Amino acid sequence: MDSRTAGEKPGLAKAAYGQHRGSPPMRYDLLDLRLFRHVVAARSITLGAERVHLALPSASARIKALEDSLGTPLLIRHARGVRPTPAGLTLERHARAILSRLEEMDQDLAGAVADSRTRVRLLGNGAAVMEHLDEPLADFLQAQPRVDVDVEESPSPRIVLALREGRADLGIFVAAPGLEDLQVRPFRDDPLVLVAAPGRLTCRDGEAVDFAGLLEQPFVGLSRGNALQLHVEAQAAQWGRELAIRIRVPSPIQACALVARGLGVAILPVASLVRAGQGLALASHPLRDAWARRELVCRDFNALSPAAVALLEVLVRAGREGVEAG
């Protein structure tokens, strides 16, 4: 929407969006808002500048001009990058809402001109995509014949970043510290458990275990790039170790079959084990580690499109019904 080049100075082609009491109206540049949103998401002025195709000196000057015009710092600079001040968080929240509304306007106008279909972008972590989305998505698409949904599996940290940068409408990811700037609604509990052949471990079936005590075991892993597998391997890396993965398979069904044959242990969501372990002799053990006790949450924007709001409500309802059924 902003046709200026990277070399132009801030302060041109302004759009008025607010006013301070007792002072002239503040005028905000759309490119400045895009830049600031990306800087906050990346926690880096350099990366933020790259994402809006600005040179670093130009980006720094724009942010400094914003701070001067508001009369307050927006970013705290430190050795590893930047973090927003309370005023910066407020500006980022409003910038995200304004830019989202502009994108929604573009989509609505395109639809009015070309009678185009509406598309909702949904990101989900491995457990959500594998176990929890088929039925609610089928119900939603049957009820919304003119809405299409793009579903992509991704690790939870990447989902959070994509939501902050506006590259997705909704995300289902693992609740974790550092989500204070996101609006979330509960989806469903889905803890991870260790799956093993009976008698493989010295503890009784159903007895809780510590992940650190499993690092000498051979593992049956899921495919490289699988979001859940990346999550588990990242926990091993926290102990300075790599999992001893004997084989990688595409699905929990295959993983359970191999675990039952005594080829190793696996870490899977409870929902996957219930479905994939039917008819197999398997022992399951809750993990004591905090990262295994997960609640999937989906983001709730203030300015979601009507189609995305409808999908959000379907997901929240499906999660609530899943908890009640459990």
Q: 33, 99 in Cβ contact below 8 A?
A: yes
Q: What tens digit of pLDDT does each residue of 34-51 get?
A: 999 999 999 999 999 999
pLDDT digits (tens, 9 = 90+) for 314-323: 988 887 765 4
The mean pLDDT of 7-31, rounded to a whole number, is: 53
Task: Assess whether the region 118-185+294-325 and the region 192-292 belong to the same CATH fold.
Answer: yes
Helix 30-42 to helix 56-70 angle, to the nearest 10 degrees?
A: 100
Q: What is the β-pairing status of strands 283-286 and 266-269?
A: unpaired
Q: What percent of the chain has pLDDT over 70?
A: 87
Task: Give me the mean pLDDT over the 220-245 stretch.
Answer: 91
Q: What is the mean pLDDT of residues 214-224?
A: 94
Average pLDDT over residues 290-299: 79
Name beta bridge partners: 81: 78
Q: Tens digit of pLDDT for each residue in 258-286? A: 999 999 999 998 888 888 888 899 999 99
| CATH number of the 15-98 domain | 1.10.10.10
The pair of three-digit structure tokens given for residue 47, joined into one six-digit string: 């990366």
Q: Tell me which residue of 324, 265, 318 sits closest to 131, measured CA to CA.
A: 318
Contacts of 180 (CB under 8 A, 6+ apart): none
- Candidates 21, 294, 313, 265; CA nearest to 131 is 294
pLDDT for 5 beyond 50? no
Min mean pLDDT across 59-73, 74-88, 101-115, 232-246 is at: 101-115
The residue extents of the domains of the chain are 15-98, 118-185+294-325, 192-292
Judge whether residue 110 has pLDDT over 70.
no
- Model confidence over 130-149: pLDDT tens digits? 788 888 999 999 999 989 99
- Which CATH number does 192-292 carry? 3.40.190.10
Q: What's 118-185+294-325's CATH class? A: alpha beta
What are the strands, taking DSSP E only, across the chain? 15-19, 25-28, 75-78, 81-84, 118-124, 147-153, 170-174, 184-189, 192-196, 218-222, 244-249, 266-269, 283-286, 295-299
**Which amino acid belongs to residue 243?**
L
**pTM given for the model:** 0.55
**The pLDDT of residue 112:** 56
List pLDDT tens digits, range 175-211: 777 777 788 888 888 789 999 999 899 888 889 999 9
